[in-house]
Structure 1
Amino acid sequence: MSQELLVNITPQETRVAVLDNGSVQEIHIERSRSRGLVGNIYLGEVSRVLPGMQAAFINAGLQRTAFLHASDINAGQAVVEGAPREQPPIQQLLREQQRIMVQVLKDPIGSKGARLTTQIAIPSRYLVLLVDNPGLGVSARIESNAERERLREIGLSLLGEDSPNGCILRTAAEGVPEAALTRDWAFLQRLWAAVRERAEEAQPATLLHEDLPLMLRVLRDLVGDDVERVRIDSREWHERMIAFSEAFLPDARSRLEHYPGERPIFDLYGVEDEIQRALQRRVTLKSGGYLIIDQTEALTTIDVNTGGYVGHRTLEETIFKTNLEAAQAIVRQLRLRNLGGIIIVDFIDMADAEHRRQVLRALDKSLERDHARTQISEVSALGLVEITRKRTRDSLQHQLCETCPTCSGRGYLKSAETVVHEITREILREARQFEITRLLVLASQEVVDRALEEESDSFAELEAFVGKPIEFQAEPLYNPEQFDVVLM
């Protein structure tokens, strides 16, 4: 399957679209005022140690204190008979006001601060340097045993006998000559030496190392053998990306193209329309079925429906084909919307066990191309499939949208009838407590219309009951749930 990357750059933001055979699969967005923090290294200071949670809050100079769990602290534990020693309690590892070098694992999401680790890992094109964490690993995506062994031997020679650090050979290292891997390792060594030197002179809450901007991370992380070309709509950044690739990624140089067209590159490939569709709850399937996707703070739910698809044979066959199509569409939506955490999929109930197995296989096969780590459960007794997908940054919806100020994120509003009844109860409450001559109700136009039309008889009876006139005034700036009862 051939891939193409589209890079759209403006002074305010950078957007990258990943296309498989012309179909948009992923959207990456980085705004100049709110760049992602994952991979950044800071000199932090321990603000508070929480033994009950086995965690600590760290002041790293970010908007909110960041979170460091004991399991993410490099305690230097030795390995005995293949098993690591038990993790010491957090109070034995950290103390308040202690200086500590940390790296961001997860960006701040919602009201949560960034998640940190002291297990520093610095990636390059082919390798990952593991600071103070000796060991050697080879990417599981490299399947050839001979190639894995070759890379392992190269990795051992790079590390030497007494290196305190470790190394991972990334998928991109497959087939790469030893000389190129040696240059990559030397670059990482120089980079880490510079970070350590800055840390010795810096004060706490200081940024020591910032990860590459999005357009250069794309070259480092996404441009593999299956990427045919990378089209950039900025001449300046096209030249900078060429310079970067010549210095670090010579194989990517020939695939970089400048897009000079007048028509916006995302419009040309239909990416803008895909982004708009990715913000909607409903996803239409080609067969006529559809998905309903709802994000909550705890999890994401995906409901599969046959919709207008009636099939040509039996009901069971119709359900099976809809679920098969839905499995592929779901994986695309996970990548496109960057949905992470727990995802619950409610497939249409299938009576045939073989159909259930085939749908799960289709789901698993489609996830093979997903860069994020995922796990799939079996179909539960209730017919649900649970997927966990690693989340390191906000979803597309959270990046592009904000909570509705009218409904505060509920997704629904009280009806005009409900608000009118609340006004009635408030009038009764106020009339019993205070001496008044008349009452003035301020509300939205829809609520006022409801009170003066459908509910006019009820308010006439209410006036008679309280013995005071009730007047209504429409306020154009009030939301449908807002009202005030003014005592005159």
Structure 2
Amino acid sequence: MRFKPSGGLNRRTDRSGLKARANVETIETPQDEIYNTKQHEREIVRAENQAHGLPPDTDTDSAKAQRQLSNEENGNGGTKPKGRRSRGKKGQKGEGDFTPVDLPEEPAKSVSEKIQRTAKKFVSKVRGIFQPIQYSHKEILVNAESLETRVAVTVKGQLENLTIERVDDPRMVGSIYKGKIRNLEDGLKAAFVDIGYEKNAFLHYWDIIPSPLDSSYDVVDRGKKKKSKPKITNKDIPKKYPTGTELIVQVTKGPIGTKGPRVTTNVLLPGRYLVLLPNSEQSGVSRKIENREERSRLKKIVRELNIPDGMGVIIRTAGQNQRKGYFIRDLKILLDTWEEITGRVQSQSPGSCVFEEPDLIERTVRDFLTEDIERIVIDNASETERVKELIGRVSKRSIEKVHRYSSSEPIFDRFGITRQLETAYLRQVSLPSGGYIIIDETEALVAIDVNTGSHRNKNKNKKDQDKTLLRVNLEAAEEICRQL
């Protein structure tokens, strides 16, 4: 697919912009790190590389390595031009001067709806007088077309996350399969599982053994006596799971290059506020919720939830300050989903998908719709109604955040996303106050140079120069983190 900037293709930097979109298209929606797999990650990756005929220490996780593997698979050994996203042109408004894009209000469907809108506006203004509203200016923009969907997350107009999903793209990561072990490799401590994909999935022994929760979660003791289960070690795997064994696995990493997908038996089902752990009795609360009193309240809610024996739940960051009823409703939805999955496992043959990860729009509602999101703007009428329905299942109050974009101007043009994509991966990145950073990528390292730009020799006063340098360096530090 080619992405043609509005200014044409006759500029020196446009090649980087064209390649930027190709890189963006490989982005997966981030998954919650629930289980602690870091302890054995290096051993698993080395075994996975060896299993697919690669040197043990091959790096396949970085964006650069993935591009190289994709090039090799497509018979193209060339490398992509270097560059980075540009923050904006000099003289651009600073963060404090940001003004959201104004959207025309949709006409009210009835007189009562019109009265309700007027009343809400009045109440909002009165509240603003006594308690000024703190705006995050964080928005989700959805461009839904027949062949692909693009979702952008912006903060004060700056693109923070962009995900593109085509209609024919398989949604493997997060999907659950009924698999069958085809062979075991004791030397690699790995099993190869047929999940119906052209390449057998890689299942390391460490991904079969039940894993403890990641350290980013505060473990909750639900007060129930845990059933004593025999401890399984790597040596027990070949006897317990011989060739031909059927098992339920979840894809944690999609196929790339010569490597097949990677799977685990530590299955999890993410919801809006909870993550269900069907095969683990462990429960916890996200440590990203920093308030100790709030974490204690959420722990109490976990203990009061009617969780079936042998299962556990994790309260996600989005659950902060939410009422108990929301968690009860979310748990019921997840349990119903798991019941449907177990039904498919019993009826379907091995090598088939029993749960497909939701599409991009549904994942966005599930994973990105937090309290600090101010607007969700969608340029497709049917998808707008679907998002309202999805949000209404868990929070009717948040439906007000959904807006239909009906202008003839493309939504990404109107909100400045296209311009940011056109300047993607430029070597020079401008800073709001006139300075800029230069990013050069080499085989050994990434070098970043900070320049004061238009501030150079502008202030002869030593004190003013120090303030200027501090401001440029603070802006550079924030932008460098964003770029990396």
TM-score range, shorter chain: 0.5 to 0.7
* Pick aligned residue for 1:234 from 355, 361, 380: 380
* 2: CA distance, partners of 1:85 / 1:322: 56
Identity %: 33
Give the letter aligned to residue 220 of structure 1: R
* 1: CA distance, partners of 2:292 / 2:451: 47
SS at match of 2:159: strand
* Pick aligned residue for 2:429 from 275, 280, 283: 283
Structure with larger Rg: 1
Q: 2:160 corresponds to which residue?
A: 25
C-alpha contact (below 8 Å) 2:452/2:472 kept by paired residues:
no
The CA deviation at 1:319 is 8.2
C-alpha contact (below 8 Å) 2:192/2:202 kept by paired residues:
yes
Aligned residues: 327
Q: 2:259 corresponds to which residue?
A: 112
Change (3 A) 1:144 1:321: closer
SS at match of 2:318: helix
Q: 2:205 corresponds to which residue?
A: 70
Q: 2:34 corresponds to which residue?
A: none
Q: Deviations over 1:248-301 (max 9, x none)?
A: 3423211000000000000111111222323445534454432325498xx9x5
Q: 2:481 corresponds to which residue?
A: 331
Root-mean-square deviation (CA, aligned residues, Å) is 3.1
TM-score w.r.t. structure 2 length? 0.61
Change (3 A) 1:46 1:319: farther
SS at match of 2:303: helix
Change (3 A) 1:201 1:289: same
Q: 1:180 corresponds to which residue?
A: 326
Q: Which residues of 2 match residues 299-378 of structure 1 at below 5 A?
A: 301-306=445-450, 309=453, 310=456, 324-334=474-484
Q: Deviations over 1:355-403 (max 9, x none)?
A: xxxxxxxxxxxxxxxxxxxxxxxxxxxxxxxxxxxxxxxxxxxxxxxxx
* 2: CA distance, partners of 1:76 / 1:2: 39
The CA deviation at 1:95 is 2.4
C-alpha contact (below 8 Å) 2:209/2:233 kept by paired residues:
no
Give the letter aligned to residue 476 of structure 2: A
Q: 1:146 corresponds to which residue?
A: 293
SS at match of 2:242: coil
The CA deviation at 1:67 is 1.8
Q: Which residues of 2 match residues 449-464 of structure 1 at below 5 A?
A: none
Give the letter aligned to residue 96 of structure 1: T
1:97 equivalent to 2:241? Answer: no
* 2: CA distance, partners of 1:93 / 1:319: 64
Change (3 A) 1:86 1:233: same
SS at match of 2:234: coil
1:88 equivalent to 2:88? Answer: no
The CA deviation at 1:159 is 4.3
* Pick aligned residue for 1:244 from 365, 377, 390: 390
Q: 1:379 corresponds to which residue?
A: none
* 1: CA distance, partners of 2:363 / 2:291: 27
Give the letter aligned to residue 259 of structure 1: Y
* 2: CA distance, partners of 1:131 / 1:203: 21
* 1: CA distance, partners of 2:154 / 2:314: 28
SS at match of 1:52: coil
* 1: CA distance, partners of 2:202 / 2:438: 35
Change (3 A) 1:289 1:66: same
Q: 1:267 corresponds to which residue?
A: 413
Q: Deviations over 1:151-184 (max 9, x none)?
A: 1122122245x71011101111122221221111
Change (3 A) 1:92 1:281: farther
Change (3 A) 1:242 1:171: same
Q: 2:352 corresponds to which residue?
A: 206
1:171 equivalent to 2:317? Answer: yes
Q: 1:381 corresponds to which residue?
A: none
TM-score w.r.t. structure 1 length? 0.61
C-alpha contact (below 8 Å) 1:104/1:117 kept by paired residues:
yes
1:156 equivalent to 2:303? Answer: yes
SS at match of 2:423: helix
* 2: CA distance, partners of 1:38 / 1:258: 30
Q: Deviations over 1:405-453 (max 9, x none)?
A: xxxxxxxxxxxxxxxxxxxxxxxxxxxxxxxxxxxxxxxxxxxxxxxxx
Change (3 A) 1:206 1:99: same
Give the letter aligned to residue 330 of structure 1: I
SS at match of 2:390: helix
* 1: CA distance, partners of 2:482 / 2:442: 16
Task: Could you tell me which runs of 5 or more consecutive residues in structure 1 were left unpaired when the two chains were aligned.
Answer: 335-488
* 2: CA distance, partners of 1:188 / 1:130: 10
